[in-house]
A and B are shown apart, each in its own frame.
Chain A
Amino acid sequence: MSTETIKEIVLPTRQESLREAYGEILAEIGQEDSRIVVLDADLSCSTKTATFAKKFPQRFFNMGVAEQDMVGTAAGLAIGGKIPFASTFAIFQTGRAWEQIRQAICYPKTNVKLVASHAGITVGEDGASHHCIEDLALMRVLPGMTVIVPADANETRGAIKAAVKYKGPVYIRLARDKFPVIYEKNHLFTIGKGDRLVEGGDAAIIATGLMVSAALEAAYALLKQGIEISVVNISTIKPLDKELIISLAAECGAIVSAEEHSYIGGLGSAVAEVLSEERPTPLIRIGMPDRYAFSGKPQQLLEYFGLTAANLEKAVKQVIKKKKL
């Protein structure tokens, strides 16, 4: 992997699809573990569960356009001893089937893995009906739910493997677009552990998903201007790596959170909860404002809503000023 480096900051140079990585790894672990079964709701070519379906047609169930039925059926399969992975677009999975997830999966702690694709606004042209900026809030509020947002394809592979080993409900958020590759192929994923990618004491960006690579870019640009920041990938939104966040607050004294999700209820809110209770620290939350987006190319939408390295750079400078008050 060729990379551009100044000091310790490594910028990604290639992109890979998270959902394709998901399809491949499912087919791979499906070979090793016959308890793995997969469900989809007429979107298997988009979520890439079709890769598993082709290899293990007996263990694949297409439920049709019926997300609620899919989630309930997955719960039954899990109670029967299987390890079901259920997939569709994020908004239909977490939105349409929310109460089924609550009653049949979280409350009884059923061993179901929900892996949703097409989260965020990078869904693009389909428009706001298909964007999903609420899933982290919807999943995070459920007692017993583990919520994971991989930052690249390799972290996706690691997260899926970790989800199989972990017994209990897991939600994993994937996207339509390719993401810059940050991690090595055999990246070992540990549920609940944040990952500090860059060290610096002037401020910290705590990012998740697509925003992790944007945070790296921002750190790179800031370093050239003499501002040294930390960048942390929080891929497990719940349970949150509180210790890491508290120690970042102690070291840096100013924090920016970054997510491709509403700035209400997701990573930014989770970080704010920890900081305000454990170590009050200036915080700027970068995320989708409290509104729906619209049709457009993914990059256009990211720019319109400030989900960019340039905007993170600005936020870091702002939050550093707050620190000096």
Chain B
Amino acid sequence: MIIAPDLISKLDKTARQLRIDVLKALANAGSGHTGGSLSAIEIITALYFNKMRHNPQNPQWEERDMFVLSKGHGAPAWYAALARCGYFPVEELQNLRKIDSRLQGHPYSRTTPGVEVSSGSLGQGLSIANGLALSHRLDGKTGKIYVLMGDGEMQEGQIWEAAMSAGHYKLDNICAIIDNNGLQIDGAVCNIMNVEPLDEKWRAFGWQVFKVNGHNFAELIQALNAASSVKGKPSLIIAQTVKGKGVSFMENKVQYHGMAPTSQELERALAELEGIN
């Protein structure tokens, strides 16, 4: 299937806007996770601005697809997408991590419109997604459950327990995505605690596995569409990404995992992003 070039260029524009939103919000907050928010931008954009069925005017719409950010520290990217979709005002992004804010440091379902599953402690999102998927199956709901995980997050044992359950229960209404940016906090994933080969592991657990460039909308959308037609087993998209993507001096830099840009860094980053036409 060929994806229309004007759709791609529209999504590219949205992704650039989300990056700008994320960087501004983080700089304003003075703390937070920059690298893993930037690597997930295209994945989240493809979901919220193309693939997922959802309605910001009616967040509880019965037929909606649902999203779980298992790597909860990527919250700024999710919040930016939710704001740009209309779940809450874009200006509210400037309250990120502040006292009395609806936008908590990590996703919190009780305060943020559009957030249905709380997260922040790694490794737990897929289990919750499986529960949602089982509930959907019991109710005959057609909505799909999307889950975004980190590659470092693969080290949590619970991920593999959940991988096993989803395979066992043949949860074809689950589509999990790995933001495979190669880095965690203390260094490169392959040096800290190797998780590869991911594709073989997930296949062995009964999953249909797709591998894409996680910054390429054509590939992402094709895989998401293909995942929708997989029957009888859950799907996993391994998205090859670059941590800190979009800001030259942050790309592949482990120190930007948990560091917000300073005001000077923000200025440099915005100059880069706004310079692209």
The size bracket of the interface on B is 20 to 34
Tell me, in angstroms, the Cα distance from A125 to B28 when the chains sit together.
12
**Given A43-B186, A64-B155, A297:B99 Cβ within 8 A:** yes
| Stretch in A127-135, A136-144, A211-219, A248-256 with 4+ CB within 8 Å of B | A127-135
Cβ–Cβ < 8 Å partners of B122 in chain A: 65
Distance between A39 CB and nearest chain B CB, rounded to angstroms: 12
Cβ–Cβ < 8 Å partners of A297 in chain B: 99
Contacts of B116-156 to chain A: CB distance below 8 A: 118-123, 152-153, 155-156
**Given A43-B186, A44-B186, A66-B156, A300:B99 Cβ within 8 A:** yes
Which single member of B32, B100, B121, B186 contacts A129 (CB below 8 Å)? B121
Distance between A235 CB and nearest chain B CB, rounded to angstroms: 28
Render A115-131 as a binary contact track against B, CB cut-off 8 A, 1 for contact: 00000000011111110
Contacts of B170-214 to chain A: CB distance below 8 A: 184-186, 189, 192-193, 195
**Given A62-B192, A65-B155, A91:B121 Cβ within 8 A:** yes
Distance between A40 CB and nearest chain B CB, rounded to angstroms: 8
A69 at the interface (CB under 8 A from B): yes
Which single member of B108, B157, B186 contacts A42 (CB below 8 Å)? B186
Per DSSP, chain B at the interface is loop
Render B61-104 as a binary contact track against A, CB cut-off 8 A, 1 for contact: 00000000000100000000000000000000000011111011
**Given A45-B186, A125-B32, A125-B105, A92:B99 Cβ within 8 A:** no
B216 at the interface (CB under 8 A from A): no
A94 at the interface (CB under 8 A from B): no
Cβ–Cβ < 8 Å partners of A42 in chain B: 152, 155, 184-186, 192-193
- Find out whether the CB atom of B155 lies under 8 angstroms from the CB atom of A127: no
A56 at the interface (CB under 8 A from B): no
Tell me, in angstroms, the Cα distance from A45 to B254 when the chains sit together.
12
| Nearest residue, chain A, Cβ from B195 | A64
- Find out whether the CB atom of B153 lies under 8 angstroms from the CB atom of A127: no
Tell me, in angstroms, the Cα distance from A213 to B186 when the chains sit together.
33
Tell me, in angstroms, the Cα distance from A148 to B174 when the chains sit together.
44
- Find out whether the CB atom of B108 lies under 8 angstroms from the CB atom of A127: yes
Chain A positions within 8 Å of B, measured between CB atoms, are: 40, 42-46, 50, 62-66, 68-69, 91-92, 95-96, 124-130, 294-297, 300-301, 304
